[in-house]
Amino acid sequence: MIFEEFMDTALYYPDMGYYSGGPARIGREGDYYTSSHLHRIFGAMLGRQVEEMWRFLGEPDDFHVVEMGAGMGYSAKDLLAYLKDRDVFAHLSYAIVEPNHSFRLSQQRLAIEFEEKVVWYEGLEILPPFTGCFLSNELLDAFPVALVEMGAGPEEIYVHEKDGELLEVKGPCRDDVKDYLNNFAGVLPPGYRTEVNLRIHRWLEDVSAKLLEGFILTVDYGYPANDYYSDERNRGTLQCYYRHTVNENPYMHIGQQDITAHVNFSALEKWGAGLGLRTCGYCPQGTYLVSLGMDEVIGELYSEWTDPDKTAGIKALILPQGMGESHKVMVQYKGKGTPALRGFAMRNRAASLSEIKNIRQNPK
């Protein structure tokens, strides 16, 4: 099978995949952390962003936040807790798209205080059209990817079983994978290995079809195309997470370890433009949170800011050696007018997404 199919099986095979079988594996007792686990200020800042979006749209009576890939549910709980005493709260509803039963149980427990505000859907296909904000944090990096290695031209990696062992073999490259490389990577040298995430395009089409007016807010680790397909990443970005250790072997701990690849934000921008989505901003998470007024929210809510033991999580959200530089925030918009969101006032790097240098066509 092609590697994309193998990754899909390892992560999502019913009742046995990493994200579809057994209890959730996020947090101290799991395999990795996300920003929402580090400190509740992260969800509060998402709430502040939602409030700004609501006001830009003219304070509609019905404003929907839809989150996909909500994990244990910390972002939803902390976002709603921050907004509960603000004007937007009376007009707000929260939907979580979550097919995993174990995750849903955790989300329901955490959101018990706001049970009248939150509703769950098993898939995007049954989500009603809405006006508001579609939110995801570390969702797109878990979409199955094609694995490609360059020879005379691009070749896809296939996974083959022989005598009980999984082996990689090179085979024909699909045309849509070649087209992607032509658009975002151009000619790569022999031996260069990388990933192609075509499923982001299909996901973006589905989300855009549901969004009547409003915003898509994406938080994830990744790069613009120029950085993604640079010489220093000639072995790609594929990584596996198992019990808070990182490895590059997706063929061990199958169904028990996370498999991820960084996001090409240039693809997200270009595909979004083709669907009528305009990019409001793109920048590192740390810059975004500081620009959005993180210090003000800390002053409002958290007296523990003076306690060094309780500020480590906050620092990890914004400092380069934590998630401040590796994780990026991107907001796309469908509707009238041109939003100028506060989170991108300090350092909007959206222009870097369309700067794709030295592109020459790969041979078909």
- Mind giving me the DSSP string for 261-287? --EEHHHHHHHHHHTTPEEEEEEEHHH
Average pLDDT score over residue span 262-279: 98
Could you tell me where the DSSP H helices lie in 111-234? 175-184, 199-210, 225-228
**Whether domain 3-352 has CATH 2.130.10.10:** no
pLDDT for position 155: 97
| Residue 57 contacts residue 131 (beta carbons within 8 Å) | yes
Give pLDDT, residue 26.
61
pLDDT tens digit string along 204-250?
Answer: 999 999 999 999 999 999 999 999 999 999 999 999 999 878 999 99
Q: Of 143, 144, 180, 173, which is closest to residue 158 (Cα–Cα)?
A: 173
Query: Can you tell me whether residue 231 is helix, strand or coil?
Result: helix
Mean pLDDT of 326-334: 97
For residue range 24-58, list pLDDT tens digits in order: 566 555 545 677 767 889 999 999 999 999 999 99
Q: What's the pLDDT score for residue 289?
A: 97
Q: How confident is the model at residue 331 (pLDDT cuts 50, 70, 90)?
A: very high
Task: Give the integer Cα–Cα distance in Å for 196 and 260.
Answer: 12
Statement: residue 23 has pLDDT above 90: no
The confidence band for 97, taking pLDDT boundaries of 50, 70 and 90, is very high
**Tokens 């939150």, residue?**
118
Q: What pTM does this model have?
A: 0.93
| 216 Cβ contact list (under 8 Å, min separation 6) | 133, 134, 204, 207, 208, 272, 277, 331, 332, 333, 334
Tell me what pLDDT residue 358 has: 54
**Who contacts 161 (Cβ-Cβ below 8 Å, separation ≥6)?**
167
